[in-house]
Amino acid sequence: MDLTALDQLQGLTADSLAMLSDAEMLTLTNQLLQVQALDRQTNQLKYYLPVSETATAIHRSTKRIIGVGGGNGSSKTDSCLVELCIRATGEIPLSLRDSYPREKLRGPINCRVVVESITNTLETIILPKLKWEHWQGVDQPGGVRGHYGWLPKHCLQKGDWSASWTGRTRTLDVRYHDPDTGEYRGLSRIQFMSYDQDPADFASGDFHFILHDEPPKEAIWVENLVRAKRVDGTMMLAMTWPDDPTTPVDWIIDRVYEVAQPGKEHDETYAWFDLFATDNQNLNQTALAELARSLSLSERQRRIYGQNLRLSNRVHPLFTDVPKVWCFACVDLTILNEEGRCGTCQSDAVCAFTHVQPVVGNPAYPVVCLLDPHPRKPHMLLWVQVDPNDDWGVIHELECAGSPGEVQERVQAIDEDYGWSSVTRVMDPNMGRSPSGVTRDVTWQDAFEREGLVFDLAEDGAAGRQVVNDYLKPDPQTHRPRCTVDPRCLRTIFQMKRYCFDDHKLTKEKDQKQTTKQKNDDMPTLLKYLANRSPDFRSLRAVGTVWKRDTGRYLPSSRK
Ligand SMILES: [Zn+2]
């Protein structure tokens, strides 16, 4: 490599540049391109571009426990290894220079990377991703889609991997520089371990950053958590949810995934990111679409969208609050190829869709108000607006502790706020018929009726669940799902994403007799009641009930 071009460049002025012959100019340009290519190889971290907005969010996160779910080809391992390299070297990629939180850089630091196996994972997959001499990607070396190893040459001892690497202890020493002044601060140490080691082997040292590639055993996670907590360090977990339902990952869902989700159990120090292979700009999307074609829906949910198995056993698997793509020819989820056609059948009858979008209140539309009364926890209510296409807009939800009288006040306020003139009320038939507890021999249905809220008893049949699933499919005419949920209905969204069948092993033959888990079932069950009623715009408007504004009493229209 000829680096004299750099000296030449330094001596250049606008005048001397103009004096160069075409041939000299061409030589200079070529030399500069070579210099840039060499810099890209020895300093790949500097040129790193996150594959998607979610990947950028991972680097911006200052959370202490960071989970990254992703399918094959989602770049989860690379995104996490880059985060490791930034923290261990103090080198911030140009693309993140303005946004990378400086408080995360406190090197030199102690890091630990734990992989599934030393021989099968560490040496063949992980270390090559770090060595600057190694190219990997779709394109030829130096191309757009791919990268050289992430650790910059100048961060290795003497610029040499072997001078930095100690095979016996599997540790790598890397040079840490101040991210702003570039001043050398000392050596960060990265220790590599594997899940086949005894959990007791993990019980030494303090670590500022611990990366787990694929799910560890819970005992190893807990041991590492202790090691990281002592120095206020960060734990990172990058994983694809396993295909095998017997692999014990429930603890990850409970300890890491759920607490990172919005809701009551949310822990501020946890974050979870889902990286979709379909968002990876470095991946050949046509090849991905080819792969997806051979997978079943649940395999695709896991491998392409990185969803976990417990949640791939969902009662309403199509429900999504992130955009996905539907093919009307396949009548199924699909992945677009690079021409924007269905990757499975090449059809262009495709549309992007999501179920969570604003539902605009329309006082002229009929509304079904659904109630699940509870003696010991808050009553759950859902309002669904039915439009002239008979499509459902889930527009409002309410959790309300208290007596039927208190519920009546809240309900009246909400109905008046939206200005609806036609509201049909339906309640859980099992609870509706049981004693309300307020007065021993009065049922819930009677107790609410006494307050002026007249609820019909719903049909409890399981068929409604399938109707809900049909309504979740995008409609060929409108290119929208027939059921949408307003973003304000947080509990409905939360539960629709989590409501599951009871038995993992029966996923293949889901029939209507299959039992569902009671967890997260309130709002989905109210939607089932709605479906069993097959609400339609015209008849609802005719039989609906109206407020008598002058008296402030709520009366069914049939009693007028
Ligand atoms: Zn198709």
**Per-residue pLDDT, 302:** 67
CA 53 to centroid of ligand 1, rounded, Å = 27
CA 315 to centroid of ligand 1, rounded, Å = 23
CA 470 to centroid of ligand 1, rounded, Å = 18
Name residues of the chain where pLDDT drops below 50.
506-510, 512, 546-560
**Per-residue pLDDT, 497:** 87
CA 463 to centroid of ligand 1, rounded, Å = 27
**Per-residue pLDDT, 246:** 63
CA 352 to centroid of ligand 1, rounded, Å = 13
CA 508 to centroid of ligand 1, rounded, Å = 22
Task: Tell me the CATH number of domain 367-559, given options 3.40.50.1820, 3.30.420.280, 3.40.50.300, 3.40.50.150.
Answer: 3.30.420.280
CA 342 to centroid of ligand 1, rounded, Å = 5
CA 287 to centroid of ligand 1, rounded, Å = 15
CA 544 to centroid of ligand 1, rounded, Å = 41
**Domain segments of the chain as ranges:** 4-42, 44-58+67-95+109-241, 285-353, 367-559
Q: Give the other-Cβ count within 10 Å of 244's Cβ.
A: 8
Cα separation, 411 vs 490, in Å, equals 18
CA 333 to centroid of ligand 1, rounded, Å = 8
Q: Give the other-Cβ count within 10 Å of 339's Cβ.
A: 10
**Model pLDDT for residues 330-375, shown as the tens digit of each residue:** 898 887 877 888 888 889 999 999 999 999 999 999 999 999 998 8
CA angle 558, 559, 560 (to 5 degrees): 95
The gap between the terminal CA atoms of the chain, to the nearest Å, is: 93
CA 329 to centroid of ligand 1, rounded, Å = 5
CA 478 to centroid of ligand 1, rounded, Å = 18
**Domain 44-58+67-95+109-241 grouped into CATH 3.30.70:** no
Half-sphere exposure of 205 (CA within 13 A, CB side): 15
CA 498 to centroid of ligand 1, rounded, Å = 27
**Per-residue pLDDT, 158:** 94
CA 168 to centroid of ligand 1, rounded, Å = 53
DSSP output for 157-213 = GGG-HHHHEETTTTEEEEEEE-TTT--EEEEEEEEEEETTS-GGGG-SS--SEEEEE
pTM here is 0.67
CA 557 to centroid of ligand 1, rounded, Å = 48
Cα separation, 169 vs 161, in Å, equals 15
Cα separation, 233 vs 220, in Å, equals 16
CA 23 to centroid of ligand 1, rounded, Å = 53
CA 348 to centroid of ligand 1, rounded, Å = 8
CA 337 to centroid of ligand 1, rounded, Å = 11
**Per-residue pLDDT, 557:** 42
CA 316 to centroid of ligand 1, rounded, Å = 21
Q: Going by C-beta distance under 8 Å and a sequence separation of 6 or more, which residues neighbour residue 224?
A: 112, 114, 202, 207, 210, 212, 216, 235
CA 476 to centroid of ligand 1, rounded, Å = 13
Pairing type for strands 423-427 and 456-457 reads: parallel
CA 394 to centroid of ligand 1, rounded, Å = 29
CA 344 to centroid of ligand 1, rounded, Å = 5
CA 484 to centroid of ligand 1, rounded, Å = 23
CA 343 to centroid of ligand 1, rounded, Å = 7
CA 335 to centroid of ligand 1, rounded, Å = 9
CA 336 to centroid of ligand 1, rounded, Å = 9
CA 320 to centroid of ligand 1, rounded, Å = 19
